[in-house]
């Protein structure tokens, strides 16, 4: 199993955040995909940040983080907003986030 940092653009801080939500290997991250992995980060209480989201997409494609431009970036922004809306609630307590992670509390789709 390869380390998360074996993927271009995934540094130690991003690796630590991914590991905290149960994504521990490069293979797991590739299998899960950028959208689902980012949703897990938000559901765990990480604050949404568009650059982090598209960097993850670029990383899984083996592209430089700043290669995302134009129509592709616009499409990713639309998807990011959908994920953020369904996976992040700044008013949710840590307990509620944990209960959501284990499937006890449903995410309110708003």
Q: Which domains does the chain have, with CATH numbers?
A: 4-101 (1.10.150.20)
| Cα–Cα distance measured from residue 78 to residue 70, given in angstroms and rounded to the nearest whole number | 13
The pLDDT tens digits along the chain (110 residues) read: 999 999 999 999 999 999 999 999 999 999 999 999 999 998 888 888 899 999 999 999 999 989 999 999 999 999 998 888 876 655 555 566 556 555 555 555 44
The token duo for 54 is 């598209």
pTM for this predicted structure: 0.76
Which of 82, 60, 48 has the alpha carbon at shortest distance from 4? 60
Contact 62, 10 (CB under 8 A): no
7 φ/ψ sector (left φ>0, alpha ψ -120 to 50, else beta): beta
Residue-level pLDDT at 22: 95
């Amino acid at each position: 199993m390869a380390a998360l940092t074996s993927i271009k653009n995934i540094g130690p801080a991003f690796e630590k955040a991914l590991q905290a939500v149960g994504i521990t290997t490069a293979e797991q991250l590739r299998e899960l995909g950028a959208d689902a992995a980012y949703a897990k980060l938000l559901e765990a209480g990480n604050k949404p940040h568009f650059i982090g989201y598209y960097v993850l997409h670029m990383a899984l494609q083996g592209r430089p983080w700043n290669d995302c431009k134009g129509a592709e970036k616009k499409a990713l922004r639309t998807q990011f907003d959908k994920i953020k809306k369904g996976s992040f609630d700044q008013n949710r307590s840590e307990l509620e986030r944990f209960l959501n992670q284990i499937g006890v509390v449903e995410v309110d789709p708003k």
